[in-house]
A = this chain, B = another copy of it.
Amino acid sequence: MDISELGEGIARGDRRALARAITLVESSRADHREQAAELLESLRNSGREALRVGLSGTPGVGKSTFIEGFGGMLTGKGLKVAVLAVDPSSARSGGSILGDKTRMERLSRDSNAFIRPSPSQTQLGGVARRSREAVALCEAAGFDVVLIETVGVGQSETVVAEMSDIFLLLLAPAGGDELQGVKRGIMEIADLIVINKADGDLKAAATRTRADYSGALRLLRKRAQDPQGFPKALMVSALEETGFDKLWEEMTTLADWRREHGHWDARRAAQARYWFEEEVRQGLLAQLQTDEARAAMETLGAQVADGRVTPSVAAGQLLGRIGADRT
């Protein structure tokens, strides 16, 4: 593969080149990893910057319909929109459940949009790196907005938040005392809580749900990176395509404020540093991924859980066995 040619294609905004490059960064083959590193290095100073938008929502909240409509509104404004999916569950299910082009028919035919389904059969540990690199490729290809969607299984929201400039949580209206089932900790990272389905019979419930979340958000500590009033909750109807303009206005207000106050660059720099440190940590922890280490973890872990040995003694034994007790 000619990497410099691929890089030029991306710089021109060629969609086939972009798709091929994403396939390259998704590969775990050693030679592909080297080529991917070379490609990313060559595109590092493209000077292009997208608004990276993380988006989480459980199945059933209308995520595809939302992306279809909201993405279409953005391309209608002349913006180029890329949609990527981070799906940690695909490692288990063996299939892609996100970024389904068939559910975003209009957007997938839109010449200003690029939709990339999540890779199937990925290894959990590599999800973050692959996604992060795909975001960088879309950015270098000149997309104005990169939507990174996730279902919020396990740590995937944190992973997506660490590669986003703005994070949206999409929720459905809840009736009365019905539990929303918002994952604890999600409030940590949400910039905007978007109550979808504010239409028809559900409109009143959406209004109430929005008020509930506005109240809950007020109880949380203000973050330095937020202007007054953020994070905030608002309503949209993906079905009727209402509330999109207001949402986009809030997103740009937040992004502009962060740019003006230095939080944008600071956040990007902190994220880059985070991913560097995270890759170093993962590299060290990879020492636990050998068959021998896994077996020892399992055996000793069971003994610790049963109370047959203290955690410290067992940890010392394991580090000794894998030869990592020299430090």
Contact = CB atoms under 8 A, between A and B. Distances in A.
Interface of A: 37, 40-41, 44-45, 129, 132-133, 174, 177, 179-185, 187-188, 212-213, 215-216, 218-222, 269-270, 272-273, 275-281, 283-290, 297, 300-301, 304-307, 309-316, 318-319, 324-325, 327
Contacts of A304: 272-273, 275-276
B219 A324 contact: no
Contact of A280 (B213, B216, B315): B315
A2 to B, nearest CB: 20
Contacts of A37: 310, 312-313, 316
Contacts of A222: 179, 181
Given A177-B218, A220-B182, A272-B305, A41 B310 contact: yes
A315 B212 contact: no
Contacts of A269: 305-307
Q: Top 10 nearest A-B pairs by Cβ distance?
A: A279-B315, A184-B188, A275-B311, A269-B305, A276-B311, A181-B221, A276-B304, A216-B216, A283-B319, A273-B305
A319 B182 contact: no
A268 to B, nearest CB: 8
Copies of this chain held together in the complex: 2
A164 B174 CA distance: 33
Contact of A284 (B301, B316, B324): B324
A155 B58 CA distance: 27
Given A272-B307, A305-B269, A327-B289, A297 B312 contact: no
A273 B288 contact: no
B311 A279 contact: yes
A314 B276 contact: yes
Given A275-B312, A281-B288, 9 more contacts: A41-B313, A44-B310, A129-B312, A182-B219, A182-B221, A185-B187, A273-B304, A278-B311, A284-B319
A299 to B, nearest CB: 11
A297 B277 contact: yes
